[in-house]
A and B are shown apart, each in its own frame.
Chain A
Amino acid sequence: AQSVTQPDARVTVSEGASLQLRCKYSYFGTPYLFWYVQYPRQGLQLLLKYYPGDPVVQGVNGFEAEFSKSNSSFHLRKASVHWSDWAVYFCAVSSQGTGSKLSFGKGAKLTVSP
């Protein structure tokens, strides 16, 4: 069965510092991977997605992620964090076919300190 593990439930980063949020996936075959962001009391917004191809994926607001098949990972990165990045970040893996089932990790709550 497909699954995602986000090992860091809470992350605190100083504004302007770099960020990495880790994601490990379990999937038989070639995975389709996503990062979503959830701002306080809001729905989810897509940051970026990986479909088989270039392992480094660029997303919105300066985010990028790198797929590694050997490490079963899809880590999210940002070079310089802004206070507006304060949110919960979810990694997800999707099955193919009818009614694509998106399986989410438990999320990583990012706090940005001044």
Chain B
Amino acid sequence: AQTIHQWPVAEIKAVGSPLSLGCTIKGKSSPNLYWYWQATGGTLQQLFYSITVGQVESVVQLNLSASRPKDDQFILSTEKLLLSHSGFYLCAWSLGLGGGAETLYFGSGTRLTVL
């Protein structure tokens, strides 16, 4: 069975400090990977997606970047946090079969508070 693990569970960071969030998927080779952001009490917004190692597509510009250094790993980062980065970050994967719409499976998320 596939498992998705996000780290850390929560972070409290200062404005202007760097950030790195991670996500690992086990039990599935070559998945499509996604980062979503959820403002407190709000809906979810897709930030990035990746269909293969080393390739990441940006969907929304929020002064964040993403990388996929390994097939099973997806990293979200920034060098300088803003207050507006606070929220809940969710990593997700899909089968990557192409063609029709795919079901996304989400991790348990990282709650980020920027002070």
Contact = CB atoms under 8 A, between A and B. Distances in A.
B3 interface: no
B42 to A, nearest CB: 7
Contacts of A51: 100-101
A97 B51 CA distance: 11
A51 B43 CA distance: 23
B32 interface: yes
A104 B111 contact: no
B46 A44 contact: no
Contacts, number: 61
B61 to A, nearest CB: 15
Interface of B: 6, 32, 34, 42-46, 49-51, 57, 59, 90, 92, 94, 98-109, 111
Interface residues of A, number: 26
B102 A94 contact: yes
7 contacts: A32-B100, A32-B101, A43-B6, A43-B108, A90-B44, A97-B98, A106-B42
A45 interface: yes
Contact of A101 (B50, B59, B99, B106): B59
Nearest to B94: A100
B44 A104 contact: yes
Contacts of B45: 104
A61 interface: no
A45 B99 contact: no
Contacts of A45: 106
Contacts of A106: 42-43
Nearest to A36: B106
Contacts of A44: 44, 90, 92, 106
Nearest to B49: A99
A87 B59 CA distance: 28
